[in-house]
Amino acid sequence: MQRNGTNKDKPVSTTAAPRVVSVIDIGSTAIRVVIAEIHADSEWITLDRASRPLSLGRDVFLAGFLSSESMREAVAILKSFRELLQGWQIPPDSVRVIATAAIREAKNRDTFLDRVQIRTGFKIDVVEGIEENHLTYIAVQHAINDLRPQFARSSAMILEVGGGTTEIMLLQRGRMVAAHSLRIGTLRVEQQLQAPASLTSNDRVEEYLRENIRVNREVLNSELRLDRIRYFVAVGGDARIAAQRVGKKEGEHFSVIDRSAFERFLWELQRRTLDECVRELNLTYTEAEGLLPALLSYKLFMEATSAQQLIVPDVSIREGVLINFAVGRRGPMRQEFAEQVINSTVGLGRKFHFDETHGMHVAQLAVSLFDQFAEDHGMDEHARLLLEVAAIIHDIGNFIRASGHHKHGQYIVENSEIFGLSRSDIRILANVVRYHRGGTPNSGHTDYVSLRREHRMLVLKLAGLLRVADALDRGHVQRIRGFTLETQDEDVLLRCDYSGDISIEQYALRQKGRLFEEVFGFGVLAV
């Protein structure tokens, strides 16, 4: 049983009765379930776990489709999990079923989702690659909470090698400077080498991975000097297998493997056949097949850093989802999450040499406008975060050329990853950046038109606010430090705290305030 949270004794909740919840994770190599009890103080206890191997990833990464046998098997496993959950009398609204890369990339994913819902009643939530990162981060952060002071002083890499993707996060003094979901996975090795891992020589696997990872290492190095990284966090089942064999448990929720011990273990592994691995390490074939490519990937990334240990937390994306359950959308963890989103955004901006002072200032003004205008725009916390992110990097397109930079910015954002934000968040952001200046949307703008209706509305609202905030720093010299908002009959009046002459800003606002007026029905004036 795993105890979580700060209070190590069984929590005695006084308010609400504890709630039993479950997370089912349909991954590339297995379907897993975790059952936990969440107490009123957001602490949680793992009650039960189960997992069944199923190589959905092999189907999808090789053929693009889930085979009908795999679908049948998945349904059978989910039915058996449903029975397990019934034993705990867990109501349907306390169950979250998530699916990652294999399902995400399956061409017949809709058929699968539909079939599962009909046969088992489970509604699957397909998690986007970068969202996986976020959930993993939440879990990791929880597991290695004790190491927080060390992380705050130096750089760290968090790496999760999965069947379909490799999630990577770079932290500088505890701040998230980059997050990526790379399409490198233990099952993709097979796809790329056109042969099952079991038939491929270990050398070829290494050569292939080395080539792939080298390219990525260079990109990462531009975001954070990898050779300065002291902490290397390896997340995932394969890392846990290694930790069980050659690591030592240091915290309640993590183990540590010395780099040399890890390399020796890997070296021994490379000299064994698959059958020997299964026998000697007591693994299933599915586990054994993925183990070598996964551990090689860790090694190849670690080689670029100066870390001397692997920190292996005993958590996964499932615990991330559980924590989401436990803390809901509030609390200090949520706030820290928002901070990391911002950190990651700044990291992205720096990569494209953005005007950081202007970006941050506009973000501050935009958020202030959002908060003071809250009664009239009716948007939630998440929209606020998106606005802040969009404001920080609205001018990122200048990296290419000032002229048409809103369009270049849209392209850059569309093709970037920001920690904690989903694909659909990114698409919204790209549009907000696109419409922070220039023309307003029309039916010819396919990127806009292809959004869902409520997302199109969100883009308009956010762009409307962003244009106002951007106008208030038109001179890029932060003359307006802040403002108080007053709503008059048909106008919103911004009483500014400024120094110097703000006529440029006032002029800009007249131009850029039109969208605001169209969207919210108020004119906007700065005095």
Partner 1 sequence: MSGPYINRELSWIEFNGRVLSEAENAQVPLLERLKFLSIVASNFDEFFMVRVATVKRQHTLNKASTCPTGMSPKDQLTAIRARVTELSERTYRVLLDDIFPALAENRLVRVRRDEWDSEQQSFVKRFFRERVFPVLTPVRAMEGDSLSAVGNLRLHAAFLLEPSPEARAESVGLAAASAISETTTPADAERTDGRTTSDEPLMAIVQVPPSLERVVYLPTTDADVVAFTFLEQVILSEAYQLFPGFSVTEQCLFRVTRDADFGVDEERDEDFVEAMEQVIETRDRSDVVRLNINRGSQRLRRILTDALLLEEDEVYESADPLELRNLMDVVSIDGFAELRDPPWKSMPSPWVEEDEAIWDSIRKRDILLHHPYESFDPVVRMVQEAADDPQTLAIKMTLYRTSGNSPIIKALERAAENGKQVSVLVELKARFDEERNIGWAQRLERAGVIVVYGIARLKVHAKAMLIIRRERHGVRRYVHLGTGNYNDKTAKLYTDLGLMSCDDTLCYEVGRFFNAITGYSVIPGLQKLAMAPVGMKRRIIELIRREASRAQGGGSGLIIAKMNSLADPEVIDVLYEASRAGVEIRLNVRGICMLVPGIAGVSETISVVSVVDRYLEHSRAFYFENGGSAEVYLASADWMPRNLEKRVELMFPVENPDIRRRLRRILDLFFQDDTKAHRLLSDGTWHRIDAGADGAAAVGEAVRAQEAAYRRIRDRLSGDEPQNRQEFKVRRKPPK
Span from 42-50, 192-200, 256-264, 474-482 in contact with partner 1 (CB under 8 A): 42-50
Considering only 145, 150, 191, 244, the residue that binds partner 1 (CB under 8 A) is 244
Name the 3-class secondary structure at 440.
Answer: coil
Q: How, if at all, do strands 95-99 and 124-126 pair?
A: parallel
Question: Nearest to residue 95, comparing CAs of 111, 116, 71, 72?
Answer: 116
Q: Which is nearer to partner 1, 52 or 230 (CB)?
A: 52
The residue among 51 and 202 lying less far from partner 1, judged by its C-beta, is 51
| Nearer Cβ to partner 1 (4/172) | 4
Q: Which is nearer to partner 1, 25 or 37 (CB)?
A: 37
Q: Beta strand 2-3 with 44-53: parallel, antiparallel or unpaired?
A: antiparallel
- Work out which of 41, 48, 355, 447 binds partner 1, going by CB under 8 A: 48
d(CA 453, CA 459): 10
Beta bridge mates, 50? 33
Give me the least distance between CB of 37 and partner 1, in Å please: 5
Nearer to partner 1, 28 or 108 (CB): 28
Stretch that binds partner 1, among 17-25, 57-65, 332-340, 519-527 (CB under 8 A): 17-25
CB of 260 to partner 1, least distance (A): 24
Between CA 184 and CA 389 the distance in angstroms is: 28
Out of 7, 117, 282, 499, which residue is the one contacting partner 1 (CB under 8 A)?
282
Amino acid at 365: L
Q: What type of residue sits at position 407? A: K
Q: Compute how many residues bind partner 1; rule: CB under 8 A.
A: 33
13 makes contact with partner 1 (CB under 8 A): yes
Contact 29/286 with Cβ under 8 angstroms? yes
Query: Near partner 1 by CB under 8 A, which window of 48-56, 136-144, 322-330, 510-518?
Result: 48-56
Least separation in angstroms between residue 1's CB and partner 1 is 4
Minimum distance of partner 1 from residue 329's CB (angstroms): 24
| Residues in a beta bridge with 483 | 496
Name the 3-class secondary structure at 452: coil
Least distance in Å: CB of 142 to partner 1? 19
Q: Which two tokens stand for residue 152?
A: 């705050």
The end-to-end CA distance of the chain, in Å, is 61
| Site for partner 1 contains 84 (CB under 8 A) | yes
Instruction: Establish how many alpha carbons lie within 13 A of residue 283's alpha carbon, considering only the half-sphere containing its beta carbon.
Output: 24
Other C-beta atoms closer than 10 Å to the C-beta of 359 total 22
Which of 45, 130, 178, 387 contacts partner 1 by CB under 8 A? 45
Q: Does 89 bind partner 1 (CB under 8 A)?
A: yes
Q: Per CB under 8 A, which of residues 432..461 are in contact with partner 1?
A: none
Helix (H), strand (E), coil (C) string for 461-484: HHHHHHHHHHHCCCCCCCCEEEEE
Q: Does 122 bind partner 1 (CB under 8 A)?
A: no
Whose tokens are 């999450």? That residue is 337
Of 273, 284, 487, 488, which lies in the binding site for partner 1, with binding defined by CB under 8 A? 284
Closer to partner 1 by Cβ: residue 102 or 300: 102
Identified binder of partner 1 from the candidate list 24, 27, 55, 81, rule CB under 8 A:
81
CA 230, 234, 237: angle at the middle one, nearest 5? 170
**Which of 23, 27, 28, 37 forms a contact with partner 1 (CB under 8 A)?**
37
Asked if 285 touches partner 1 (CB under 8 A), the answer is no
Three-class secondary structure of residue 152 per DSSP: helix
CB-based contacts of 197, cutoff 8 Å, min separation 6? 186, 189, 190, 205, 274, 289, 290, 292, 293
Give the range of 31-39, 394-402, 409-417, 500-508 binding partner 1 by CB under 8 A. Answer: 31-39
Q: Which of 271, 363, 28 is nearest to 354 (CA)?
A: 363
Report the nearest approach of partner 1 to the CB of residue 278 (Å).
12
- 72 vs 204 by CB, closer to partner 1: 72
Rounded to a whole number of angstroms, the CA Rg of the chain reads 25
Residue 25 found at the interface with partner 1 (CB under 8 A): no
Q: Among 6, 86, 442, 443, which residue interacts with partner 1 (rule: CB under 8 A)?
A: 86
Of 81-89, 168-176, 178-186, 191-199, the segment contacting partner 1 by CB under 8 A is 81-89
Q: Which of 49, 123, 330, 476 binds partner 1 (CB under 8 A)?
A: 49
Query: What's the closest the beta carbon of residue 10 comes to partner 1, in angstroms?
Result: 7
- CB 367 within 8 Å of CB 488: no
Torsion angle defined by CA atoms of residues 104, 109, 114 and 115, in that order, rounded to the nearest 10 degrees: -110
Per-residue tokens: 146: 């004790």
Dist. CA 18–CA 31, nearest whole Å: 26
Positions that interact with partner 1 (CB under 8 A): 1, 3, 10-13, 17-18, 20, 30, 33, 37, 39, 45-53, 80-81, 83-84, 86-89, 244, 282, 284
